[in-house]
Copies of this chain bind each other. A is one copy, B any other.
Amino acid sequence: MRYFVAVAEELHFGRAAQRLGIAQPPLSRAISRLERRLGAVLLERTSRAVTLTEAGAVLLREGRAALYAVEAAERRTRRAATGHHGVVLATKAGASGELLAKLLDAYAAEPGAVGVDVLLCGIGEQERLLRDGRADVALLHLPFDATAGLDTEELHTEGQVLLLPAGHPLAGRPHVRMAEVADLPGLPLPRWPGPDGTYPDGPGPQARDTAQLYQLIALGRACVIMPESGGVHLRGDLATVPVLDAPPVTTVIAWPPHSRSKAVADLVRTATGL
């Protein structure tokens, strides 16, 4: 399964074998064996290109989920064995700072509270972390993060603001609309790296975290639309303007569906009661 996912992602037997730390021939054989066992053609290969069949696409999605489940089983068992009863909370670096602080304070005051390790992660990573057992609970932001397959509780909904250089003409406006922001001359929206660490193609500068982002905006090279709470502690060289028709952002607390941990349950209850 690991082998198939690697090939399906690379669409190249040689590179996939390298990534897996094995030679190419055993990889080829493993894939054909898998195809024979499933009675399904997973990959169309010519000597120049490898493409996924429909069945292959299904197995890529389902197989990834299965691999995550196995990883999660390993990790959670190891953690349970150490007797270390802390809980790992994942959240995007630089988001929901205030909410997170209130949550951690309130939970620490609960009877029976255990240690909470905060795991700051990149955009969209939380789902993966919950799924493969590296985190026990996470703060997500709808509609950006996927919550399929996770149990969630809504915590907070807020509007979004446009973040731009303090001196910009729009900075003095009481509010703006999405259409006005779409193509501000010289202020494109930045590009964020995807889960694989590469940046999508297109215009706009590349930013990896909020520090880089603030820098870019201060330099007048970008603007961004973000939740109100992300713009409360501003540098003097940045300004915010409410965006009237931006989709509202809902912060939710999410946890893997089979969680039987008292700590996670307490944390969720504390969060919803804030």
Instruction: Specify which chain B residues have a CB less than 8 angstroms from the CB of A76 in the assembled complex.
Output: 58-59, 62
Given known A1-B70, A70-B1, contact A257–B77 (CB-CB < 8 A):
no
CB-based contact A62/B55 at 8 Å:
no
Q: Copies of this chain, how many? A: 2
Of all chain B residues, the one with the shortest Cβ separation from A73 is B62
Given known A66-B66, A66-B70, A70-B66, contact A258–B77 (CB-CB < 8 A):
no
Of all chain B residues, the one with the shortest Cβ separation from A74 is B38
Instruction: Specify which chain B residues have a CB less than 8 angstroms from the CB of A65 in the assembled complex.
Output: 69, 72-73, 258
Number of interface residues of A (CB under 8 A): 38
Answer yes or no: A262 CB below 8 A from chain B CBs.
no
Given known A149-B149, A149-B257, contact A62–B72 (CB-CB < 8 A):
yes
Alpha-carbon gap, A59 to B149, bound state (A): 20
CB-based contact A78/B38 at 8 Å:
yes
Interface centre among A55, A68, A150 (most CB of B within 10 A): A55
Instruction: Specify which chain B residues have a CB less than 8 angstroms from the CB of A81 in the assembled complex.
Output: 38-41, 53-55
0/1 per residue, A69-104, Cβ < 8 Å to B?
110111011101101000000000000000000000
Chain A residues touching B, majority SS: helix
* 7 new A-B contacts at CB < 8 Å, known A39-B78, A39-B81, A66-B66: A38-B81, A55-B81, A57-B80, A58-B80, A59-B73, A61-B258, A65-B258
- How far is the CB of A258 from the nearest CB of chain B, in Å? 6
Instruction: Specify which chain B residues have a CB less than 8 angstroms from the CB of A53 in the assembled complex.
Output: 81
CB-based contact A40/B148 at 8 Å:
no
Of all chain B residues, the one with the shortest Cβ separation from A259 is B148
0/1 per residue, A155-186, Cβ < 8 Å to B?
00000000000000000000000000000000
Among B63, B151, B258, contact of A62 (Cβ-Cβ < 8 Å): B258
0/1 per residue, A119-154, Cβ < 8 Å to B?
000000000000001000000000000001111000
CB-based contact B73/A66 at 8 Å:
yes
Instruction: Specify which chain B residues have a CB less than 8 angstroms from the CB of A260 in the assembled complex.
Output: 61
Subset of 24 A-B contacts with CB under 8 Å:
A1-B70, A38-B77, A38-B78, A40-B78, A54-B81, A55-B80, A58-B76, A58-B77, A59-B77, A59-B80, A61-B260, A62-B72, A62-B133, A62-B258, A65-B69, A65-B258, A66-B69, A66-B72, A66-B73, A70-B70, A148-B151, A148-B257, A149-B258, A150-B257
